[in-house]
Structure formats: C-alpha cells, structure tokens
Amino acid sequence: MGEHAIIVIKNKNSKYLQYFDEGWNSYLFLNCKLPNGNNEEIIKNKVANEFNIEKGVIEVYYVEKKKHKKFSETAKKEKEYIHYFYKVELNTEFYENNFEIDGKKYKWYSYKELLEDKRIMQVNSDIVEFIKEFNL
C-alpha cells in the first residue's frame, strides 16, 4: 500500500497547479511518497526543490487522509493508496501562467477545467473529487 501526499497549490485566480506526468500521460497534482505518513517537512522539501524556492516562503497545511483503491497506470494494476492531502501556499512571486522547468511542464486548471479534461478524469477523477469534498 502506497502512502502519498497530494499537494494542492491554488493561485489567486482559483486555479490548481498540475504537472504533466509521462507515466500517467496526464496532468496531475504534485505528489510525493510519504515513507512515515503525515509529514509536512517532506512537503516543504518537495515544493522547495521542485521550484527552486526557499522553504521559508512555503506554508503547508495538512487537510485530510483518504484510503482508497484505484488503477495504477504505471504498475498496470489496481493498488490501494493512502493519500494525505496538503494545501500549500507560496508567499513569494510565483508563475501566473503555464510554465516549464527543466523539461517538466506545469499548467494551471480551474476546477471546471479539471472536470472537463477527459484524460485527467480517466486517471485521476478520485483525487479531483476529493478536492471538492475537502473544499480545497
């Protein structure tokens, strides 16, 4: 069973930051493994390293934990996951438009746009629904 963080970064236009994941062939919320469950320091490190920003400008808020099963595109089988949801606020100037860092593509989506993207809903509808459920 994999324990993972779902990192929710929302901009001033109420859009959610997604990155393009080659293995899933889809845009996804930032995420990372959590070897020992809830750990806000791992989230700060992930965001700081991902965007080359200082950890001091990153605010991390633990929201909720969800245990569920879903099909893993990379493992090609159903897996059980424990997802820890974190709201992250960046107290610094940050990208307002879609951008790319070292070949990795990032894109901002409104909640409506997430729902309308067929591929995102095919592979990540559970996470998109949890975003609504947790009022993120």
Predicted confidence band of residue 74 (pLDDT cuts 50, 70, 90): confident
Per-residue model confidence (pLDDT) at position 1:
58
Per-residue model confidence (pLDDT) at position 7:
98
Q: Which pair of structure tokens corresponds to residue 64?
A: 């909720």
More confident residue, 68 or 22: 22
More confident residue, 77 or 8: 8
Average pLDDT of the segment spanning 45-73 = 93
Q: Max Cα separation, the chain? A: 40
Span between the terminal Cα atoms of the chain, in Å:
25
Q: CATH no. for residue 92? A: 3.90.79.10
Q: How far apart are CA 28 and CA 17, in angstroms?
A: 8
**CA distance readout (Å), 124 to 60, 107, 129:** 22, 16, 9
Residue 109 has pLDDT above 90, yes or no: yes
**CA distance readout (Å), 42 to 6, 85, 90, 106, 109:** 12, 13, 16, 21, 25
Average pLDDT of the segment spanning 45-60 = 96
CB 89 within 8 A of CB 7: no
Quote the domain boundaries for residue 12. Answer: 2-133
Per-residue model confidence (pLDDT) at position 125:
94
**Structural domain count, the chain:** 1
Instruction: Compute the mean pLDDT over every residue in the chain, rounded to the nearest whole number.
Output: 93
| pTM higher than 0.95 | no
